[in-house]
Structure 1
């Protein structure tokens, strides 16, 4: 049974067939919503987007113990989340639905899916942009900030 988010959004579990849409959602979100992280620096942005390809998403979504969800408004995917093993690897929404409950609904679906798969603790590496969101959702710091290609990521975790 799908979860329903505000604004007539529907959260659906995805197959790798949705990789192209998922990739586009993540690329839009990183480019337009994560300016706090990349500061508009083309070098940093290009490094971050380098592996955000349809082929990479297809492989990640098809991997063993991977679960993916999309938030939809009609036929349009407006958010995407991916859990791999016990890690929330991706959770992004397009700019048009930012701060409208879509990310929370995706996170809830991802946590429930992980719980059902036997995961007792979910880990992630948060951007600066999303850190307050995850802290509000019960995640706590789980180590030192990681730096890569001009980006910083705070490891976080949550007992499910």
Structure 2
């Protein structure tokens, strides 16, 4: 498995991984509700993903094997992990851990001593196992409940 920076040519496949991960793996969060899914997926298009890849104040990384994208993650220059999604067939194979480690290294290189993120209910135990701690009350993003978290880097 190779972890690398995403390129604009990856945008379509990255958007597909994001959408499939949300639809298939995050059922605890969206409970199959069409309105919630529609809201969550609304910005997971190739065009918008491409804008994230090209943004100068963000880093989008992906895990790849034999040309297939296994997962995708993102971080902002403000010290926040913004994305960490895995293709359903790659779940529990260390993909998210590898992406997270690369994003944390990226943030350390920018000079951040702490990483922040907002976790879904689905990913909360993953982040706790990775050393993140709850940082305040849960927040709603529309109908989705998110838990602010932080970790010393």
Instruction: Assess same fold via TM > 0.5.
Output: yes
RMSD of aligned alpha carbons = 1.1
Divergent runs of 4+, >4 A: none
Partner of 1:131: 124
Match of 2:87 in 1: 94
Contact 2:52-2:60 at 8 Å conserved across structures:
no
Matches of 2:15 and 2:101, distance apart in 1: 21
For structure 2, the residue ranges without an aligned partner over 5 or more in a row are none
What CA deviation, in whole Å up to 9, does each residue of 1:70-124 have, x standing for no partner? Answer: 1112101010001112111000001101111111011011111111122221111
2:104 to 95, 99, 111: 111
Give how far 1:148 is off. Answer: 2.6
Q: TM-score, normalised by structure 2?
A: 0.95
TM-score scaled by length of structure 1: 0.91
Unaligned runs of 5+ in 1: 1-8
Number of positions where the alignment pairs a residue of Structure 1 with one of Structure 2? 152
Report whether the alignment pairs 1:50 with 2:42.
Answer: yes
- Deviations along 1:23-74, whole A, 9 cap, x unmatched? 1111110000000000111111111101111111111222222111111121
Cα distance between partner residues in 1 of 2:37 and 2:100: 24
Which has the larger displacement, 58-67 or 137-146? 58-67
SS in 1 for 2:122: helix
CA distance, structure 1, for counterparts of residue 20 and residue 71 of structure 2: 10
